[in-house]
A and B are shown apart, each in its own frame.
Chain A
Amino acid sequence: MTAAQAPGSREVLGPPEIGRALIRIAHEILERAHGADDLVLLGIPTRGLPLAQRLAATIGEVEGVDPEPLVGALDVTMYRDDLRRHPTRTIGATSLPDRGIDDRVVVLVDDVLFSGRTIRAAMDALTDLGRPSAVQLAVLVDRGHRELPIRADYVGKNLPTSRGEKVAVRLVETDGVDSVRIEAQ
């Protein structure tokens, strides 16, 4: 963990804060959707997926349902608008719950909301996969600097940042530790 702490970086969320934020978001999602019957949580790889799984686990606990069929993964690589600006990206896995997404409420889950371009790509990807009754967005951190008219429905923490800073989200499932840090460049 110490190796990951660049000089000038500060932790803004630790494990308890992340846990509380996710529990609150899970309840907000349930409240809006009036239960878990038509819900699908689609995590955007890499770190959106474990977040979606944690939200589903909480929802499953509260509602007394199996969280497994609530979760899926939605890879947006092939829908990005910046493919030509980067070295070739590796395509991640997309997996939908068996019931599909048609006529269900899809909640996209990602770690950081920044320009909004990833979410734009995710909405295009969704269109090719089915026709949800509604699409909502849950993010752990909203750091501002939107470049598209996109807004999150559920936010763990609003984090004012400058463009030069970097928000680093680490999760137990992918990085061995839960933390959100702001790192100066």
Chain B
Amino acid sequence: MRHLLSAADLDHATAVHILDTSAEMAKTQSREIKKLPTLRGRTVVNLFFEDSTRTRISFEAAAKRLSADVINFSAKGSSVSKGESLKDTALTLHAMGADAVVVRHQASGAPHRLANAGWLSAAVLNAGDGTHQHPTQALLDAFTVRRHLRGTAAEPDGVGDDLAGLRVAIVGDVLHSRVARSNVDLLTTLGARVTLVAPPTLVPVGVERWPCEVSYHLDEVVDGGPDAIMMLRVQRERMGGGGGATSFFPSPLEYTRQYGLDARRLARLPEHAIVMHPGPMNRGLEISADAADSPRAVIVEQVANGVAVRMAVLYLLLAGEREDEA
């Protein structure tokens, strides 16, 4: 693995290997001393062109737990706001000796450009590009699902296993969601069956070519007994000006009635089913407080698993000799 740009690039064996490595990383995070010396002397740059708190601090925590040096570069108040191009930013980071660049960008494909344009020798990790991909989120979701639904007494993290036969429903604003795209790719690779649930206005063009089913009716899917249900945030900031969200659905109240996870729908889910959300949540819109705070919600655990998964990815990209040096 040279870069991590898309969940679709991961084959079954690589995906399971990343999850297994994450399980070992997760174990070290329950120790009193959480820091490992593994990436001492390596430099990780967080290059964020889009606002993000969770993903950035998660990557920052992961890199620091592995003893890498972390440089945070956010577009606001930086050379980018003075008009610097992506190329010049990349050349600057290269000159500063970055070993890995964690990039979030509002344009789909920006991480791919960074990785392949020859501006940088660093490993590039996609931390979310436009409405395209967010592979580490999919990995942490897969890790969380595997742990809860495949874990055994001997292997609480389900090490070595995949998600064959599990059914996962992904509900909400699929159109603007890189989380949904990445999850469809990765969960399907791992053998799960994914159903997307969204109002017709929030389903992307070309979805019929994705390896998943699509439904417009949350109640039907809930009664079908999914093993995990993942609620997506309604991304109002991407829904354009003026009416914002209401250009995609009549009113927030109607959205909640049709596509929100409330206590009633929660009670109808199978007993073992887990409730997930990539965060940040719009409580009262796509998920009610009852569902978000229920014991079946693993939303806070997803955050903890995010650090372990990002440690694993950094380890696998940075610890060994670089493929181009070999």
In the complex the two chains form, is A88's CB within 8 Å of B24's CB? Answer: no
In the complex the two chains form, is A87's CB within 8 Å of B320's CB? Answer: yes
Question: Does chain B have a CB within 8 A of A90?
Answer: yes
Q: Report the bound CA distance from A87 to B17 in whole Å.
A: 15
In the complex the two chains form, is B24's CB within 8 Å of A79's CB? Answer: no
**Residues from chain A with Cβ under 8 Å of B315 in the complex:** 78, 88, 91
B316 (CB) vs chain A CBs: closest residue = A88
**Given A79, A88, A124, A128, which contacts B320 in the complex, CB threshold below 8 Å?**
A88
Complex interface bits, B25-37 against A, C-beta within 8 A gives 1, otherwise 0: 1011001010111
Q: Report the bound CA distance from A87 to B24 in whole Å.
A: 19
Question: Does chain B have a CB within 8 A of A32?
Answer: no
In the complex, how many angstroms separate the beta carbon of A88 from the nearest chain B beta carbon?
A: 3
In the complex the two chains form, is B319's CB within 8 Å of A88's CB? Answer: yes
In the complex the two chains form, is A89's CB within 8 Å of B319's CB? Answer: yes
Question: Does chain B have a CB within 8 A of A99?
Answer: no
Given A78-B315, A84-B319, A86-B321: A128 in contact with B38 (beta carbons within 8 A): no
Complex interface bits, B80-113 against A, C-beta within 8 A gives 1, otherwise 0: 0000000000000000000000000000000000
Question: Does chain A have a CB within 8 A of B21?
Answer: yes
Question: Does chain B have a CB within 8 A of A85?
Answer: yes
A125 (CB) vs chain B CBs: closest residue = B36
**Residues from chain A with Cβ under 8 Å of B33 in the complex:** 128-129
Q: Report the bound CA distance from A128 to B28 in whole Å.
A: 10
Majority-rule SS of B interface residues: loop
In the complex the two chains form, is A86's CB within 8 Å of B320's CB? Answer: yes
In the complex, how many angstroms separate the beta carbon of A74 from the nearest chain B beta carbon?
A: 12
A80 (CB) vs chain B CBs: closest residue = B38
How many chain A residues touch B (CB < 8 A): the figure is 18
Q: Report the bound CA distance from A92 to B17 in whole Å.
A: 12
Q: Give the contact-size bracket for chain B.
A: 20 to 34
In the complex the two chains form, is B21's CB within 8 Å of A84's CB? Answer: no
A95 (CB) vs chain B CBs: closest residue = B27
Given A78-B315, A79-B38: A129 in contact with B320 (beta carbons within 8 A): no
Question: Does chain B have a CB within 8 A of A93?
Answer: yes
**Residues from chain B with Cβ under 8 Å of A159 in the complex:** none
**Residues from chain B with Cβ under 8 Å of A88 in the complex:** 1, 315-316, 319-320
Question: Does chain B have a CB within 8 A of A5?
Answer: no
Q: Report the bound CA distance from A87 to B321 in whole Å.
A: 5
Question: Does chain B have a CB within 8 A of A142?
Answer: no
Given A91-B315, A94-B24, A94-B27: A78 in contact with B320 (beta carbons within 8 A): no
In the complex, how many angstroms separate the beta carbon of B19 from the nearest chain A beta carbon?
A: 12
B326 (CB) vs chain A CBs: closest residue = A87
In the complex the two chains form, is B31's CB within 8 Å of A78's CB? Answer: no
Q: Report the bound CA distance from A90 to B17 in whole Å.
A: 8
Top 4 A-B residue pairs of the complex, sorted by shortest distance between their CB atoms: A88-B320, A78-B38, A128-B33, A91-B24
Beyond A78-B37, A85-B321, A91-B25, 7 additional contacts (C-beta under 8 Å) are A78-B38, A78-B319, A90-B21, A91-B21, A91-B24, A92-B24, A128-B33
24 contacts between A and B (CB under 8 A): A75-B24, A78-B37, A78-B38, A78-B66, A78-B315, A79-B36, A79-B37, A83-B38, A83-B320, A84-B319, A84-B321, A87-B321, A87-B326, A88-B1, A88-B316, A88-B319, A88-B320, A89-B320, A90-B21, A91-B25, A91-B315, A93-B24, A94-B27, A129-B33
Binding site for A on B (CB under 8 A): 1, 17, 20-21, 24-25, 27-28, 31, 33, 35-38, 66, 315-316, 319-321, 326
